[in-house]
Amino acid sequence: MSSSRTRVGVAGYGFIGRHLCQSINSHPEWGLELAFVWNRDGNKLADLPTSLVLQDLSRFADHAPDLIVECAHPSITVNHGEAFLNRADYLPLSVNALADGELAARLTQAAHSSGRRLFIPHGALIGLDNLVEVRDMWEAVTITFKKHPDNIDFSDSGISVDGINEATTIYDGPVRGIAKLFPRNVNTMTTCALATVGLDRCRAVLIADPALNVAIAEVRAEGKDGSVHESRKVQPVVGVSGTEMLAAQVGSVLRAAAVCPPGMNFV
């Protein structure tokens, strides 16, 4: 590491990025410090010290980050992911960028070549560690999301929300396909696929249900030995994400930075 404190660069200063920056500044006991903050609209960084503001993301290395966290858009990984991994560890929160198999392979190769690490956040996925530990054992995996239509971003799908008056299956097929149609909604589906049988074999089901006022995520993994892993999470939803999203993302950053806060820790 470049100093006694892990230096974190943050790409994106929206809802998630702002919360992450505030959390790092509020918890010096974590041993983290901000290396830089970048945002597409630089005017939104006016509340930050000028020493932290990065105007040109391609100049990230000038700020010597140990870990870079993307909180903006999959295009950041497309355009800068390999360069990031040549100089720092990288945690893209927009996991759907890795639905591009060629990009995922290039990022993995870049990480191997530089000795850096590419981290995948768990998001809303329960039991990710258990799924990964026996990933070669899974024969079939299905991940299902159920949400109110208002909590699904249809803008990239070409699908009309009009006429959805009852529970309706919007998508049923490989995760690779849904990642392109609903990039803001299904990062956790991509994580599940990467952790288990891959994006072409992992089945994704998206159900829009106007009767729901919560978000439901269900996973069923069937093992070659007859074992079954099942999980179901039900939680309130704000926008397109569950209410625990912020805490989950900060938790992923702490694990990526190898931070164990004082007190009891679960590993």
Q: What is the pLDDT of residues 136-162, one digit of tens each?
A: 999 999 999 999 999 999 999 999 888
Residue 241: pLDDT over 80: no
pLDDT at position 115, please?
95
- Domains contained in the chain, CATH given: 6-123+246-256 (3.40.50.720), 128-242 (3.30.360.10)
| pLDDT band at 167; cut points 50, 70, 90 | very high
Paired residues of 36 in beta bridges = 9
Report the predicted TM-score, pTM, of the whole model to 2 decimal places.
0.91
80-94, 100-114, 230-244: lowest mean pLDDT where?
Answer: 230-244
Rounded to whole angstroms, the Cα distance separating 26 from 49 reads 15
pLDDT at position 2, please?
44
**Crossing angle for the helix pair 101-114 and 74-87, to the nearest 10 degrees:** 20
Which whole number is the average pLDDT over 8-14? Answer: 97
pLDDT digits (tens, 9 = 90+) for 60-74: 999 999 999 999 999
- In one-letter notation, the amino acid at residue 213 is N
Residue identified by tokens 């299904």 is 186
Q: Average model confidence (pLDDT) for the chain?
A: 92
pLDDT at position 1, please?
41
**What's the length of the chain?**
267
| Inter-residue contact 163 to 135 (CB < 8 Å) | no
